[in-house]
């Protein structure tokens, strides 16, 4: 009680003064608030925009422009849009869209335009389109009033032409106008105008390419637009194609004829190159043949040079004497040789037993059907002992042989595989190759063993040494076979 007695209560006038001070401060605060936000609140209140003073104060702290939000809500309210705080265009939603970086006024205007045109567009979808970077107001306007774009679009927006080729190879230059309207359902994530232009161009080129003739397209240009419209060109795009109209068709050059001409020129150049290659090969082969001729002539001269020495040796040995009576002995000449680049190296004088006979390496044989042709042997034991085929060093000898034989014969290359297979066969046969016979009844022939021919082909030698002589017997119309004295035993 003493403590309460010690506390001095304020007087009446002191309490009244404190209340007056507090009231003054409150009045000043109210006057300041009304001075700053009262006009916006009064404007929204009079227009029925439903914006509270608390929302205006919060906008100041959030650095949101009051006039933008107030104007947007007033426009929405006057246009008849729902501004309900739960389901409509509330102040909170407008603030959130503004803070997210959206264009509040553009969204409100787009909703008003959609509402007037009877298009179903709520605030959430309009805000999403705006935040996605699309101009939602332009999209609504394009949906109401379709837009015309050129296909193709030039660098500065001007119209150009597409180049397409019909099946007959004639080029057509086509210009088209595409009428589109916005598809609000696919505006988010849908492709832009560039995709539509590219697809329309592709459809036009495909339609022209499917035409049999360019005259069909000139006669009925609607085939192009109908063919392009059937492909669903506006799928997954932000637009719906209303129509494709062809406004210009020009006839270009004949691409097919030009391509055929270029191909013909290319084929001509290839043929010339191949011909030049063959000419060079022919020149090289000619030089090679000339070298072979020179080498064979040298070998022939060497063979002739050995004849005097052999005659001298025969005189000294006493094996060459003049008979007591009768005509002077004459030297037997070898059978005639075919002329050509490669021919047999038989000497003009029959070689004595000690002199070797050189023959050109054979490259061809003759086929009678599928069998290799050989001379007919007279003695039965010769036919069972020897296996002989004709061989030719060049084309001219076997041409001469074929001309003198009435049987149809076929020249065929003498390959190493055949010689190897014959040599690998077991048996006692002596396998020979008669070289450069000029006919089936030549007086005298020379033959080399298949082994010596194979060795000459492997070593690429130009000649082989004869091992056997075949002499034609006119009584039996067949050949007798005898080994040469200088040949190795077989």
What tens digit of pLDDT does each residue of 128-150 get? 888 887 888 888 878 777 888 88
Evaluated on CA atoms 383, 364, 410, 357, the torsion sign reads negative
Give 341-395 pLDDT, tens digit per residue: 333 434 433 444 457 888 889 988 988 877 888 898 887 666 678 889 999 988 8
- Partnered with residue 237 across adjacent β-strands are 191
Q: How far apart are CA 363 and CA 391, in angstroms?
A: 7
pLDDT at 334: 40
Q: Average pLDDT, stretch 455-460?
A: 89
Rounded distance between C-alpha atoms, residue 346 and residue 330, angstroms: 18
Question: Does pLDDT of 83 surpass 70?
Answer: yes
Tens digit of each residue's pLDDT (9 = 90 or more) over 175-188: 888 888 887 777 77
CATH, domain 145-255, list 3.40.50.2300, 3.30.479.30, 3.40.190.10, 3.30.230.10: 3.30.479.30
User: Looking at residue 156, what is its pLDDT?
Assistant: 53
Q: Which two tokens stand for residue 211?
A: 């035409």
Query: CA distances (Å), 9 to each of 6, 18, 19, 481, in order?
Result: 10, 13, 15, 168
Half-sphere exposure at residue 469, Cβ-oriented, CA atoms within 13 angstroms: 19
Which H or E run includes 365? strand 364-368
313 or 195: which carries more pLDDT confidence? Answer: 195
CA distance 45 to 64: 19
Per-residue tokens: 89: 């265009």
CB 356 within 8 A of CB 307: no
- Cβ atoms within 10 Å, residue 371: 9
pLDDT tens track for 13-45: 767 777 777 777 776 666 666 655 666 676 776
Cα distances from 219 to residues 52, 165, 167, 174, in angstroms, run 70, 16, 16, 14
Predicted local distance difference test score (pLDDT) of residue 391: 92
**C-alpha angle 451/454/459, rounded to 5°?**
125
- Does position 434 have pLDDT exceeding 90, yes or no? yes
Q: Which whole-number Å values give the CA distances from 432 to 102, 291, 368, 374, in the listed order? A: 105, 28, 18, 10
How confident is the model at residue 305, as a pLDDT? Answer: 82
Identify whether the C-beta of residue 196 lies closer than 8 Å to the C-beta of residue 244. Answer: no
* SS3 category, 473: strand
At 270, is the pLDDT very low, low, confident or very high (cuts 50, 70, 90)?
A: very high
CA distance 163 to 250: 9
pLDDT tier at 475, thresholds 50, 70, 90: confident
Between residues 333 and 485, the one the model is more confident about:
485
C-alpha 229/C-alpha 151 separation (Å) is 14
Instruction: State the Cα–Cα distance between residues 144 and 130, nearest whole angstrom.
Output: 18
Q: What is the pLDDT of residues 101-123, one digit of tens each?
A: 888 888 888 878 887 777 878 88
Phi and psi, residue 42, nearest 5°: -65, -40
Cβ neighbours of 454 (radius 10 Å): 19
* Residue percentage of the chain with pLDDT more than 90: 9
Residue 339 has pLDDT above 50, yes or no: no
Distance CA 343, CA 359 (A): 8
What is the pLDDT averaged over residues 396-416? 82
At 124, list the tokens: 């959430």
Q: How far apart are CA 337 and CA 435, in angstroms?
A: 10
How does residue 413 score in pLDDT terms, banded at 50, 70 and 90? confident
In the block, residue with structure tokens 């194979």: 454
Distance spanning both ends of the chain, measured CA to CA: 162
Q: Is the bond into 152 cis (omega within 30 degrees of 0)?
A: yes
Closest CA to 345 of 488, 446, 223, 440: 446
**pLDDT for residue 333 is more than 50:** no
Task: State how far the Cα of 239 lies from the Cα of 178, in Å rounded to an integer.
Answer: 11
CB burial of residue 50 (10 Å; 0-12, 13-18, 19+): middle
Domain boundaries, the chain: 15-143, 145-255, 358-483
Q: In whole numbers, what is the pLDDT of the chain averaged over residues?
A: 77
């Amino acid at each position: 009680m003493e403590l309460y007695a010690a506390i001095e209560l304020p007087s009446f006038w002191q309490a009244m003064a404190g209340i007056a001070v507090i009231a003054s401060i409150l009045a000043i605060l109210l006057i300041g608030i009304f001075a700053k936000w009262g006009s916006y609140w009064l404007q929204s209140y009079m227009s029925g925009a439903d914006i509270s003073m608390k929302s205006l104060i919060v906008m100041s702290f959030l650095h949101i422009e009051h006039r933008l939000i107030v104007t947007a809500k007033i426009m929405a309210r006057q246009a008849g849009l729902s501004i309900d705080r739960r389901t409509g265009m509330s102040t909170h939603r407008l603030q959130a869209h503004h803070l997210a970086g959206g264009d509040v006024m553009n969204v409100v205007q787009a909703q008003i335009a959609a509402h007037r045109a009877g298009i179903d567009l709520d605030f959430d979808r309009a805000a999403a389109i705006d935040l996605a970077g699309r101009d939602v107001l332009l999209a609504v306007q394009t949906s109401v009033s379709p837009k015309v774009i050129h296909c193709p679009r030039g660098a500065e927006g001007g119209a150009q032409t597409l180049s397409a080729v019909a099946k007959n190879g004639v080029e057509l230059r086509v210009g088209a106008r595409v009428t589109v309207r916005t598809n609000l359902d696919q505006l988010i994530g849908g492709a832009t105008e560039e995709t539509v232009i590219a697809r329309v161009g592709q459809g036009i080129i495909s339609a022209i390419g499917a035409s049999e003739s360019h005259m069909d397209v000139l006669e009925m240009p609607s085939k192009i637009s109908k063919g392009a419209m059937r492909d669903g060109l506006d799928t997954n795009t932000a637009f719906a194609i209303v129509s494709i109209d062809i406004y210009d068709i020009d006839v270009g050059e004949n691409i097919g004829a030009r391509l055929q001409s270029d191909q013909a020129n290319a084929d001509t150049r290839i043929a010339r190159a191949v011909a030049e290659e063959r000419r060079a090969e022919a020149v090289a082969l000619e030089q090679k043949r000339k070298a072979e001729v020179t080498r064979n002539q040298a070998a022939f001269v060497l063979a002739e040079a050995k004849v005097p020495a052999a005659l001298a040796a025969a005189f000294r040995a006493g094996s060459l004497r003049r008979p007591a009576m009768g005509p002077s002995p004459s030297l037997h000449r070898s059978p005639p040789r075919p002329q050509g680049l490669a021919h047999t190296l038989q000497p003009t004088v029959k070689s004595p037993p000690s002199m070797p006979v050189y023959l050109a390496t054979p490259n061809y044989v003759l086929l009678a059907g599928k069998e290799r042709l050989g001379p007919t042997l007279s003695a039965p034991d010769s036919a069972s002992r020897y296996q002989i085929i004709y061989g030719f060093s060049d084309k001219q000898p076997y041409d001469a042989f074929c001309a003198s034989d009435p049987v149809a014969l076929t020249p065929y290359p003498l390959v190493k595989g055949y010689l190897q297979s014959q040599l690998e066969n077991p048996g006692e046969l002596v396998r020979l190759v008669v070289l450069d016979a000029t006919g089936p009844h030549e007086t005298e022939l020379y033959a080399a063993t298949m082994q010596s021919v194979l060795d000459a082909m492997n070593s690429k030698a130009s000649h082989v040494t004869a091992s056997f002589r075949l002499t034609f017997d006119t009584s039996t119309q067949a050949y007798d076979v005898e080994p040469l004295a200088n040949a190795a035993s077989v």
